[in-house]
Structure 1
Amino acid sequence: MRHLFVFLELFAREGGIQSYVKDVLQAYSQGAKQDDHRGTVALLHDRPPSVNPLVSDRLSFTYLHHRSSLIQRLRLAFYLLRICLLSRPERVICGHVKLAPLVQLICNPLGIPYLVMTYGKEVWGVWEHLSPWEINALRGAARIWTISRHSRDRLCASHDIPQAQVDFLPCVVDETQFTPGPKPPHLLDRYNLHGAAVLMTVARLWPEDIYKGVDVTIQALPEIAAAMPTVKYLVIGRGGDQPRLAQLAAEAGVSDRVVFAGFVPTAELPDHYRVADAYVMPSQEGFGIVYLEAMVTGIPVLSGLGDGSADPLQDGRVGWQVEHRNVSAIAQGCIAMLQGDDPRCRGEWLRAEAIAKFGKSQLAQRLQDLLT
């Protein structure tokens, strides 16, 4: 075994980080075929799933879930110590800053270098309040991987980490899964979207994730509807914030325009993107895989301004970046996307630009470069 990966979870929850990590592990397996190396993945919170498509002769998994969080942590500590002593991995890849102090504690005395992967949400919500042990573990890492320029800049500025210590491992999109196509009639029927100009957001509707911008998009709908009378807003995702969002739509007089689709399985997402005429998420993201998924489907995108979405939107060259709590700016951007006159609405061009920079086939080579 050359590499040991340690993550919080892959299967216990769904989200952009979990999707990204699965892409990274799949890319690792592809690269391993060329380099004859093997890796092991330890998952703190996960039980064995009914099906794990990532298992291969190059990648094995260990599940450490227990109903007691203390026992979970003890299991992880003993597992890391045993495997580092007996198997001597070439490197340990730590998948979350919260796990980094334990990884550092075990790796340093054994002379095993470790890397720390970082994403986005923890930059704004957590990193300003990291413990001294977590900060020390970040500073002591052989390398730090992150997904965007913004995440790197926030990390380095917050904790006095040199930019030269940080490498980019950006998110990518599966261009074979997300493809352009006609609006599926069964979804138009399901959501009553026939004849509608459809805005769409895919996001967790958790109270702590208000930064996703679903609420301000709802507030922008009256202004959008004044210019585009057939507009409807399809919101895909689940969470405890939905009642507040529904009440907000009622107060704005747009309840008939907002469709809460709830959770949609990954396999059904490509068809849902094809329903949309524009993708809107005026958020504060570490990166934003969903923008890539929309663009390779051929639909224009709107994101927040001053966050990691600048990378997939290529600093506004392939999409709209607006102040993420500015209702009028969001409305005007959505109107422009739905009218379709701007060059950034050209579907074939959007798809080509997204694939050229963030196609999934590039991730295996990038990961291989970082590991060698």
Structure 2
Amino acid sequence: MATFSELGILPALESALATDDITDPTPIQSKAIPVILAGSDAYVSSETGTGKTLAYLLPALARVDAAQRALQVVVVVPTHELAMQICDVGRELAQKAGLGIRFQPLIGGVSTKRQLEKLKDKPQVIVGTPGRIDELIKGRKIKPHTVKSVIVDEVDRLLLGESLAEVRSIIKSMQRQRQLVFVSATQRPETTEEAEALASDLVQVHAGADQVNSAIEHFYIECEERDKAEVLRKLLHALEPLRAIVFMHRSANAEILASKLNHHKIPVVDLHGAKDNAQRKKAMDDFRAGEAKVLIASDIAARGLDIRGVSHVFNFDIPTQSKDYLHRVGRTSRAGSQGCAVSIMTAQEVRLAKRYQSDLHIEVRVGRLAGGVFHVDN
């Protein structure tokens, strides 16, 4: 397999990656980087946890002229958390590589005035949600004519409904010779068709089939619905996760669960309950810093988040589709580490474990709690 420098990535960026023990490109990075570096329009698809962010961020950084104090790359994402995460990754890489490239997040729910002040610093890269970026372009606060590349991440969420109209508007405002890169964890016909309508000569870049990382162990434990919170509490004590993500569907239930766990001295942050960007940022910062060992999130809130050291994923509310299970468990076992996924199921939900096994070709073993210890049935 080619090295990053052999793929065309700047040696300074390759050295910056090495400080985080990233030395070998993943399959999607090996395929996508040369295509994006060449300036081609591309549709990049690969499963969660395969390194898609660096697959587009590295060549985008390599194409930025740091001496030119003008906007050159626009990254459109569906959530505030993902925008902040990509900005953090990009800033750290650029700083370590000594590139002098400025990043600016542009998200809704924050003071527009403050963001306009930051834009006066002339960032070369902006990362933001479609509504805010579109608003600032229409208000002539962003000059789109200098943009070289537009990257649309999580296209299965952005090329739908209101977001689709905003993405179209953003792209339409750019010069015709700009590069378009669409990024997704899936290959859905409807989103692929929309992308092709926006860029007729798309290069399709795909790596990996829908399969689960073999370093993840899968279990389910059966209980009554009313006992799920107590079972989760006992599992957290028995398994002692380094960091754990608990998936729930409903905000009200998440708030109740967070309260119960905090009452039992288990530090928890709840993305469901975060009312604004400041609260969401604090929740993520606390989780990354290890001040809270447990993060409660929905599928939407967790999309795209790349958090190192997540040892366990707990499915409190059970995904009915195998692809959603795949996305969830992909939050653990990153960068070669071991991972564990535990689904807390009612008797009626156990059938879904069999579905995961069949669809994803994995073994989901039966677990049980006894005397404060987690046992696995043979």
Which interval holds the TM-score relative to the shorter structure?
0.3 to 0.5
Higher normalized contact order (CA 8 Å, seq sep 6+, divided by chain length): 2
Structure having the larger proportion of residues in helix: 1
